[in-house]
A and B are shown apart, each in its own frame.
Chain A
Amino acid sequence: MEAKHDVLVVGAGCAGMRAAIEAFDAGADVAMISKIHPVRSHSGAAEGGINAALGNASEDDPEKHAFDTVKGSDYLGDQDAIEILCQEAPDDVYQLEHWGAVFSRTADGRIAQRPFGAAGEPRTAYAADITGHVLIHVLYEQVMKRDIKTYEEFFAWKLVIDEDRCQGVISWDLLDGGLKSIGAKTVILATGGAGRLYTGTTNAYACTGDGMTMALRAGVALKDMEMMQFHPTTLAPTGVLITEGCRGEGAYLLNAQSERFLIRYAPNAMELASRDVISRAEQTEIDEGRGIDGNVMLDLRHLGAERILERLHGTRELSMTFAGVDPIFEPIPVRPGAHYHMGGVDTDVWGRTSLEGLYAAGEVACVSVHGANRLGGNALMETITYGKRAGAHAADWALSNTTITVRPSVEQDAERELKELLDRTDGERPWQIRDELAETMHVNFGVFRREEQMLAQGDLVQKLRERYERVVVDDKGDVFNTDLTQALELGFLLELAECMIVSGLARKESRGAHARPYDYPDRDDESYLKHTVVTWEDEAPRLDWKPVTMTKWEPEERKY
């Protein structure tokens, strides 16, 4: 065993760092482990903002925030978790500001807030269109201030389970090579999402669902895995994100006929309807021949150069670099792209999983705050509030429990498994499987879902998993062997794809991101107002259901 800590945070994005800071301040010996440097984490790519009912731009309160979130979730969100988020959000945002977050400001010097999709009030606090960047750097500053130990460029691969408790992590040391196990009384997963399951995704290369699969392999359940959000404004061909903040500032979406087509889908909210609604509208326009080269157009021109330069300069930079378009003068071609996993590791409102000592927070987790559709600006808020809560609880638990066991046999098993992969010299390179998986997921498990396509995808993923058993890693070396870690990442993704398909097939209705217009076009509260829950048994997913927690909001028809 390399080292021992009270709390070990896996992943160092916004949720991970916020958890580590909270645990540190509670007096725990805390460390973070991350396959990339903390500021490289994908939280930094969040653009538009973070939702909290500060009331700086209008009369607002946490209850309104909670209702918008419940409705946005298509009633699949757990209302207790949503209420906690919305109640704690304002103080958590003030905390970030006190740490130095460079928020944009109102005329009277308060944190500025902009309108966002499906929000009843302008509630999204922002830092121009680089909010995630600003937050990840402010959190890292606080990590440096506390000198929190970070195992940088350590690739977490397996959880250590002993006596039905999670007691650490086995990882691959990227810089020096070799498996290193780190013992911990509690482990907090904060590894983010799995957008790399899709070709067109806003997600970084690092977003390969590591924590979800590690939990799954440890016998922990994944919840609502069919709920993958498609963001309405991503750039072709790879899916670079164009922020919802554009529409928050007033941008239009146009089809090839120059029509603001949302008038036919969401006549009241128009471009500020929820993401699932807009992505479906766009896909319908494109499928019915009213797109332009597979895109619709995001028009910012009427906002004027000054506003674009002040509040959307990052968007302009991205459009100019990746689409060759200056949004001051031309509309930006956009399309839906895989963006955010509402589903994830099943946790309670303290981030606890069913496995003692194991926690999860942020996108890797499913508390569930977002249900079937997340509102823009709620993800960053969840990372902060639930990162904090997981950190607090894990520290508390760790400080009152004392032993850590990592048996040599566990380490030896991992060594053996890894050696088998590295020793293989004859077989397929992983990239073909990776690309095939991502391309087919996009077609067969995308914005709209058909029974037969999901079934076919299930068969395909099974075959890909068989092929994966025989993949070959070119790099046999110890130093910075990303060929190895990328192969391991593909293993994570393949199991998640299976979980998503099983969940998607079981949910025979249309709710939020799970749209089945051809066979089950409506929401069916009678049968499906419940979470899908998947565990891994005998190398295959096993589906179950779990009730949704309701506090004060009864399901209503959802219109924007």
Chain B
Amino acid sequence: MRVPLKIWRYDPVAGQKKLVEYEVDAPEWVTLLDVLDLIKDKVDGTLAYRKSCRMMICGSCGMRMDGAAVLACKTRMYDIVQSGHVPVISAMGNLPVVKDLVVDMEPFWGKIRAVQPWLDSGYSDPGAKEHVVSQEQMDVIHKESLCIMCGCCVSECNSMEADPDFLGPAALAKGMRFVGDARDKADVERLQSYSEEHGIWDCTRCYFCQERCPKGVDPRDAIAKLGAQAMEKGIDSDMGAKHAKWFVTSAKTTGWLRETELVPKTQGVVSAITEVGFAMQLFKRGKVPPPVPPHVAENVGEARALYDLVKQQGRDGAAGIVQVEHALSRVEFEHEQEGQEPYGEGSFPRPQPLPGEAEEIVE
């Protein structure tokens, strides 16, 4: 098939950017990475991009297709070509471009290093053999340990675009990989450090990282888990933490959000006073209910019961974060919805029993 493609080239010597269109012949099975290889081989050897494993594990080939981060090796081209769409390929966002599709990853790695990404087992001595840890305990960090450090999440991070010092989704997910590890004894220190400015609470919860992660790490969930763990440990002096805490308190007490108190509870009374004029304007236009008497929801009992249940089940830390499940191990059984089953119709071949073996393999 003919594959057309536009690539944002960047020439670092001239400092020039330009959009160049290419078209190559390719077999139907090709990925975006294969197409880039064909261009580099046959059209223009100066095209620069990173690659290595071509099987979604090394994390080299993060780049943008039509403005959204992808792994080039994971992106099959057939459907795109069939649709007639000509995709635009560019370098990842939030990182300085070195040349064409190659970005400088050093800012990325600097943030990874900033979360002290190595196991700190404190004074606990596992002895001569391994730590004894249950599979359930390891499962807590299953998704975070899938991370291949490709940078796709960082590329898409809106908070980082506003604040280049924000630790960002990859580093925080790496942080959760240790906070959630039963063998790590530095979780309090970690949570304190990650709760500082540019940390957990600077995430705007836009979920772009979660959406674009090619490995199902769910970095935004990891950040939420860190937040929940931090609050559970009483590390809640950051405004973000206070804000979240007030949400819980107001839901528990009234079943509603008590907006009037939200600002003083989050920013503190002194700072809130400066917002009084703004609050009065809102009040005049009926945007804020009067603070007294508190506006209590009719079925507030349900909100309170829910709160008690979470406490009772011990799910007020990371274990309670089940917002989105993109993890690979939980991918929907798409086929099942169509009624497909193992050994169903058209499923070939069906294993024959071995000689002397009863017909028991199937089913």
A pairs with B = yes
**Interchain CB contact (< 8 A) of B135 among A104, A263, A302, A314:** A104
Contact in complex: B343, A301 (CB < 8 Å)? yes
**Minimal beta-carbon separation of B59 from chain A (angstroms):** 6
Contact in complex: B342, A329 (CB < 8 Å)? yes
**Interchain CB contact (< 8 A) of A94 among B129, B178, B348, B352:** B129
Contact in complex: A175, B350 (CB < 8 Å)? no
Q: How far is the CA of A133 from the CA of B142 in the complex (A)?
A: 13
Residue of B whose beta carbon sits closest to that of A237: B29
Contact in complex: A258, B351 (CB < 8 Å)? yes
Q: Does B281 contact A (CB under 8 A)?
A: no
Of listed B57, B131, B361, residue having the most chain A CB within 10 A: B57
Contact in complex: B352, A258 (CB < 8 Å)? yes
**Minimal beta-carbon separation of A271 from chain B (angstroms):** 11
Q: Does A400 contact B (CB under 8 A)?
A: no
Contact in complex: B46, A111 (CB < 8 Å)? no
Q: Does B286 contact A (CB under 8 A)?
A: no
Q: Does B354 contact A (CB under 8 A)?
A: yes
Which B residues are within 8 Å of any A CB, using their own CB? 12-13, 27, 29, 40-42, 44-46, 48, 50-60, 74, 76, 98-100, 102, 104-105, 112-113, 117-119, 121, 126, 128-135, 138, 141-142, 145-149, 178, 181, 183-184, 328-331, 333-335, 340-344, 347-352, 354-355, 361-362
Q: Does A331 contact B (CB under 8 A)?
A: yes
Q: Which residues between 38 and 75 of chain A lie within 8 Å of chain B, taking CB atoms?
A: 39-42, 44-45
Q: Does A356 contact B (CB under 8 A)?
A: no
Q: Which residues between 294 and 338 of chain A lie within 8 Å of chain B, taking CB atoms?
A: 297, 299, 301-302, 305, 309-310, 313-314, 316-318, 321-322, 326, 328-331
Contact in complex: A133, B361 (CB < 8 Å)? no
Which A residues are within 8 Å of any B CB, using their own CB? 36-37, 39-42, 44-45, 91, 93-94, 97-100, 102-105, 107-112, 127, 130, 132-134, 137-138, 141-142, 144-145, 175, 204-206, 237-238, 240-241, 252, 254-260, 263, 292, 297, 299, 301-302, 305, 309-310, 313-314, 316-318, 321-322, 326, 328-331, 429, 431, 473-475, 477-483
Known: A39-B148, A263-B355, A321-B74. A109 touches B133 (CB 8 A): yes
Of listed B131, B132, B134, B333, residue having the most chain A CB within 10 A: B131
- When A and B form their complex, which 7 residue pairs have the shortest distance between CB atoms, in order from nearest? A474-B45, A100-B119, A258-B349, A301-B342, A431-B41, A109-B132, A483-B45
- What would 16 A/B residue contacts be, using CB atoms closer than 8 Å? A41-B52, A42-B58, A44-B53, A45-B53, A98-B131, A100-B119, A100-B183, A130-B57, A130-B146, A206-B52, A256-B349, A260-B352, A310-B329, A328-B335, A479-B99, A483-B45
Chain A positions within 8 Å of B343 at CB level: 301
Contact in complex: A321, B76 (CB < 8 Å)? yes
**Interchain CB contact (< 8 A) of B46 among A127, A144, A205, A483:** A483
Contact in complex: B352, A205 (CB < 8 Å)? no
Contact in complex: A133, B341 (CB < 8 Å)? no
Chain A positions within 8 Å of B340 at CB level: 329
Contact in complex: A254, B53 (CB < 8 Å)? no
Contact in complex: B342, A144 (CB < 8 Å)? no
Known: A255-B349, A302-B342. 12 other contacts (CB 8 A): A100-B178, A102-B141, A102-B145, A109-B135, A110-B129, A141-B119, A205-B52, A237-B29, A252-B361, A331-B348, A479-B98, A481-B48
Chain B positions within 8 Å of A292 at CB level: 349
Chain B positions within 8 Å of A99 at CB level: 118-119
Chain B positions within 8 Å of A258 at CB level: 348-352
Known: A301-B342, A317-B328, A482-B48. A254 touches B58 (CB 8 A): no
**Interchain CB contact (< 8 A) of A474 among B44, B51, B134, B183:** B44
**Minimal beta-carbon separation of A523 from chain B (angstroms):** 28
Chain B positions within 8 Å of A94 at CB level: 126, 128-130
Contact in complex: B130, A475 (CB < 8 Å)? no
**Minimal beta-carbon separation of B225 from chain A (angstroms):** 16
Known: A109-B134, A329-B344, A483-B40. A204 touches B52 (CB 8 A): yes
Chain B positions within 8 Å of A431 at CB level: 41-42
Contact in complex: A39, B58 (CB < 8 Å)? yes
Chain B positions within 8 Å of A205 at CB level: 51-54
Q: How far is the CA of A416 from the CA of B138 in the complex (A)?
A: 55
Chain A positions within 8 Å of B52 at CB level: 36, 40-42, 204-206
**Minimal beta-carbon separation of B327 from chain A (angstroms):** 8
**Interchain CB contact (< 8 A) of B117 among A141, A241, A481:** A141
Contact in complex: A330, B347 (CB < 8 Å)? yes
**Minimal beta-carbon separation of A379 from chain B (angstroms):** 16
Contact in complex: A331, B349 (CB < 8 Å)? yes
**Interchain CB contact (< 8 A) of A328 among B12, B54, B132, B333:** B333
Q: How far is the CA of A112 from the CA of B58 in the complex (A)?
A: 25
**Minimal beta-carbon separation of B163 from chain A (angstroms):** 24
Known: A133-B148, A314-B328, A318-B56. A477 touches B46 (CB 8 A): yes
Chain B positions within 8 Å of A305 at CB level: 333
Q: How far is the CA of A263 from the CA of B333 in the complex (A)?
A: 33
Q: How far is the CA of A200 from the CA of B305 in the complex (A)?
A: 59
Q: How far is the CA of A256 from the CA of B142 in the complex (A)?
A: 37
Contact in complex: B98, A480 (CB < 8 Å)? yes
Q: How far is the CA of A326 from the CA of B145 in the complex (A)?
A: 23
Q: How far is the CA of A432 from the CA of B211 in the complex (A)?
A: 39
Q: How far is the CA of A98 from the CA of B125 in the complex (A)?
A: 9
Chain A positions within 8 Å of B100 at CB level: 480
Contact in complex: B347, A329 (CB < 8 Å)? yes
Contact in complex: B335, A329 (CB < 8 Å)? yes
Contact in complex: A37, B56 (CB < 8 Å)? no
Contact in complex: A260, B99 (CB < 8 Å)? no
Q: How far is the CA of A395 from the CA of B48 in the complex (A)?
A: 37
Q: How far is the CA of A477 from the CA of B44 in the complex (A)?
A: 13
Q: How far is the CA of A133 from the CA of B58 in the complex (A)?
A: 8
Chain A positions within 8 Å of B55 at CB level: 45, 204, 240-241, 318, 322
**Interchain CB contact (< 8 A) of A40 among B59, B113, B352:** B59
Contact in complex: B132, A108 (CB < 8 Å)? yes
Chain B positions within 8 Å of A318 at CB level: 55-56
Chain B positions within 8 Å of A309 at CB level: 329-330
Contact in complex: B57, A105 (CB < 8 Å)? no
Q: How far is the CA of A401 from the CA of B250 in the complex (A)?
A: 70
Residue of A whose beta carbon sits closest to that of B147: A137
